[in-house]
Amino acid sequence: MKNKITTIILLLFLVMGTSCNKWVDIPVPETQIQAQRIFLDERSAEAALTGLYVQLTATTLSITNGGLTTYTGLSADELFNTSPAADLDPFYVNSIPATNGTGINTRLWSAAYRYVYHCNSLIEQVQASALPASFKIRAVAEAKLVRSLLYSYLIQLFGDVPLALTTDYAVNAVLPRTAYNTVLNQIINDAQEAYNNLPSAQTSTLKAKPVKATAAALLARYYLLAGNNSLAETMATEVVESGSYNLVTNLNNVFLNTSAETIWQLPKDQGNTTEGSTLVPASTSVRPVYAIVPSLLNAFENNDLRKSAWLKANIISGQSFSYPHKYKARLATPVTEAYVVVRLAEVILIRAEARAKQDKLTLALVDLNRIRNRAGLSSISSLTKPQLLLAIEQERRVELFAEWGHRWFDLKRNNRINEVLAVEKPNWQPYAALYPIPQNELLRNIFLTQNPGY
């Protein structure tokens, strides 16, 4: 049965995906995308939705499958590649050419827009179908929430980006870059619609399908990004006080696919996570591809349980290489882990930051200390507002390291990237806070412009 379902999903996405790999270049034949042919019933539409989630974790180091962790980890002060690599070196030294093919183009930009296309196609097909209204509302909400996630990463990586909300080739092929704040408003609108229309309860222990709390958690993240701290606090509080999620006491179990802390996760179609297979070396005698930079190692306090639970080290020729060990399963079986998109600890820290920025310092400290105490650290108190904001930034650094680019995005959101990375990387230049628009996209679309400095 599992193989049959997988076959159905792959066939659906062959139909939907063969012409969208380079969707800004190639018109989609009308015969390939017709709602009446694909979505004759809820089962086929549900399979296509499942196929979207499968796609998000199908390509190694794509934007939703470890790419954000590795590439922004190199760009920030988290990771370094232990061997020279033409694709990786430019990210670490913050000098990325627009011609960078694998990282910038294939795994980040093109992958994101390929998945956006899938979302738009699903939305159009479901809306055009004769399926029950209640199903259509929920299915569209799921697709729009995924679309919001993709665009949230695109604007934080590239700044202004084309805002594609249709599968119409004639429109998409000549889209200019849309202003950052306009895209952010669309992100919030998509997530708000999902919040209004998604079910309240999970129907599966896998937490692979987003529900109302998923949308609330992402809205908290988006509102914090937008500087709307009041709404960020409100959305975060709804998740924290829902009673549906709990901090996991044993830090070794936080990223298991049964974790009570997980709000939304992406199980792979087969196997564990790409980050586990990519970041964990094959043996203790092998140097990891990506290692933790010294400043991050030194950021952990002496008694921080996260350092022993979420980091490991291999000693090669007398040199110690520490690497992320949040996902511990390197092999495909047995399946014990799924890729966590958002978890309760992040939401608590979102609320701490939102409260601190509203001068609710006592409440912010409560949230901050909740995360510290779980890590075996003592509570802190009596901080000024600037001190508290730096303490929250520090806590996010050691709690959310090597997860979905949080550190890179945190430094940018709080206007600290130049101050921090100028110390970490002597050749740092402010323009590098935005990645370059891929050169081949500029050649295809004369209405696209390059970011300054490239």
Give the tens place of pLDDT for each residue, 39-84: 989 999 999 999 999 999 999 999 999 999 999 999 999 999 999 9
Q: Is 185 left (phi over 0), alpha (psi -120 to 50) or beta?
A: alpha
Percent of the chain clearing pLDDT 90 (strictly above): 89
What pLDDT does residue 270 have? 86
| C-alpha angle 152-156-162 in degrees, rounded to nearest 5 | 70
Mean pLDDT (whole number) for 126-131: 96
Q: How far is the C-alpha of 447 from the C-alpha of 22, rounded, in Å?
A: 17
Q: In the predicted model, what is the mean pLDDT of residues 238-255?
A: 98
Q: What's the whole-model pTM score? A: 0.92
23 compared with 366, residue with greater pLDDT: 366
How is residue 197 annotated by DSSP?
H
pLDDT in tens, 306-330: 999 999 999 999 999 999 999 999 9
Q: How many residues does the chain have?
A: 454
Q: How confident is the model at residue 5, as a pLDDT? A: 38
**Would the pLDDT of 95 be above 70?**
yes
Q: What is the rounded CA–CA span in Å between residue 235 and residue 224?
A: 10
Of the candidates 428, 419, 427, the residue with the CA atom closest to the CA atom of residue 390:
419
Position with higher pLDDT, 164 vs 30: 164
Question: What is the residue-averaged pLDDT of the chain?
Answer: 93
Per-residue confidence (pLDDT) for residue 38, from 0 to 100: 67
Give 3's contacts (C-beta < 8 A, 6+ positions apart): none
Confidence of residue 36 (pLDDT cuts 50, 70, 90): very low
Q: How far, in whole angstroms, is CA 321 from its chain's centroid?
A: 26
For the segment 424-431, the average pLDDT, to the nearest whole number, is 97
pLDDT at residue 8 tops 80? no
